[in-house]
Amino acid sequence: GKGFCAACHGRDGKGLTGIPPGRFENEPRIFTNPTWQQSRTDGELMWVLRNGSAGTAMAPFIPLVLTEDEAWQVIAYIRQFAIP
């Protein structure tokens, strides 16, 4: 679950620092960004977990890594980063 997300997004949701250049085409999403938090619905996050995100290293995680219930738990965890 969350461990897979933390590998790129960090346990604190701020993304990892020190990622070797060229490892990712785009940096991992920073979940603590309030503008980003407000711009994405839970349904959109679920879609990304199911389908991945084009142009990024974000791969589909459902059903290979997460069940749908686990994915909703991950989304709830991501939303906690919006709380100051």
DSSP 4-51: HHHHHH-TTSS--S-PPTTS-SSPPP-TT-HHHHHH--HHHHHHHHHH
Cα–Cα dist 58/45, whole Å: 12
When pLDDT is averaged across residues 35-62 and rounded to a whole number, the result is 91
36-63 average pLDDT score: 91
The enclosing domain of 62 has a CATH number of 1.10.760.10
Q: What is the pLDDT of residue 2?
A: 57
| Token digits of residue 11 | 């346990």
Structural domain span for residue 21: 2-80
pLDDT of residue 75: 94
User: Percent of the chain at pLDDT above 70?
Assistant: 87
**Other C-beta atoms within 10 Å of 71: how many?**
20
Q: What pLDDT, on the 0 to 100 scale, is given for residue 51?
A: 95
Higher pLDDT, 26 or 8: 8
Number of domains in the chain: 1
